[in-house]
């Protein structure tokens, strides 16, 4: 959601999402756990954001191609690419969701199938085009109607569907990359999270300077066996 759209509810926007997540949420948001929402604002990055790249098209595990296209467009507006850096599309949040719907989030698959169809139908009826074909501002308006529970024909309702997808999008942004999202550590870089540490040095404990950034998954540590910890992914 563009931060310039002053008429849109701020709680969809990236700035509000960052206030809710914070650095600690990067560790807590894993595949089977709802995204942690904290009140701590994120620290501003000291370096300019990298130029966003188009997400790679890849094989689906759960959703159809049409469903995945709508989901990709939806998560791209929940955490948009802007002056702060790449967003949910580049972080592969939709891939994380599609992958998890075959495993830990399997119980949510019917809600996604019906909700994505209802979203496309509502976009067509309210804006005259499928959701993926709308301009960003119109997509934001449609999602605002979902969040406010104005849109109809959702089960159990539009707000419940929107909140589910938003929570799972945050998981895909900030969870360990092992689970299929947070590609290239985009989420961690966005909130200034320096990476997982099994041991914290004396220098790091003093907090006299920013900690060294460790760009690796927790499952890269020797104490974990990816073969044994795969959990159906």
Residue 166 in domain? yes
Q: How much is the average pLDDT of 213-228?
A: 68
Model pLDDT for residues 99-136, shown as the tens digit of each residue: 999 999 999 999 999 999 999 999 999 999 999 999 99
Residue 157 pLDDT level (bands cut at 50, 70, 90): very high
Residue 177 in domain? yes
Residue 36 in domain? yes
What six digits make up the tokens of 87?
Answer: 């967003």
On whether the CB atoms of residues 32 and 167 are closer than 8 A, the answer is: no
Residue 146 in domain? yes
For residue 49, how many other CB atoms are within 10 A of its CB?
Answer: 15
Residue 155 in domain? yes
Q: Which domain holds residue 205?
A: 10-229
Helix, strand, or coil (residue 82): strand
Residue 3 in domain? no
Residue 4 in domain? no
What six digits make up the tokens of 64?
Answer: 């159809």
H-run or E-run covering 232: none
Model pLDDT for residues 60-84, shown as the tens digit of each residue: 789 999 999 999 999 999 999 988 8
Instruction: Tell me the C-alpha distance between 130 and 230, whole Å.
Output: 37
Residue 225 pLDDT level (bands cut at 50, 70, 90): low
Residue 167 in domain? yes
Question: How many domains does one find in the chain?
Answer: 1
Instruction: Tell me the C-alpha distance between 127 and 224, whole Å.
Output: 49
What are the angstrom distances between the C-alpha of 44 and each of 17, 62, 94, 189, 192? Answer: 14, 36, 26, 10, 7
Model pLDDT for residues 9-49, shown as the tens digit of each residue: 444 555 455 545 443 444 344 333 333 232 223 333 344 44
């Amino acid at each position: 959601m563009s931060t310039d759209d002053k008429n849109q509810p701020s709680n969809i926007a990236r700035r509000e999402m960052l206030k809710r997540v914070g650095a600690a949420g990067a560790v807590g948001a894993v595949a089977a756990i709802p995204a942690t929402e904290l009140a701590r604002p994120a620290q501003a990055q000291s370096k300019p954001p990298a130029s966003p790249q188009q997400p790679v098209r890849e094989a689906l595990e759960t959703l159809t191609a049409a469903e995945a296209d709508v989901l990709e467009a939806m998560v791209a507006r929940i955490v948009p690419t802007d002056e702060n850096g790449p967003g949910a599309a580049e972080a592969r949040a939709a891939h994380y969701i599609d992958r998890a719907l075959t495993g830990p989030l399997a119980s949510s698959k019917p809600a996604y199938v019906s909700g994505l169809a209802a979203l496309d139908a509502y976009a067509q009826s309210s804006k005259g085009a499928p959701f993926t074909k709308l301009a960003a501002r119109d997509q934001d308006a449609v999602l605002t109607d979902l969040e406010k529970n104005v849109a109809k024909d959702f089960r159990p309702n539009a707000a419940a569907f929107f909140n589910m997808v938003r929570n799972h999008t945050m998981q895909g942004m900030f969870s360990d990359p092992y689970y299929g999202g947070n590609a290239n550590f985009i989420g961690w870089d966005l909130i200034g999270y320096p990476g997982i540490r099994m041991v914290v040095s004396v220098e790091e404990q003093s907090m006299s300077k920013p900690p060294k950034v460790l760009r690796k998954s927790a499952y890269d540590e020797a104490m974990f066996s990816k073969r044994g910890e795969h959990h159906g992914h």
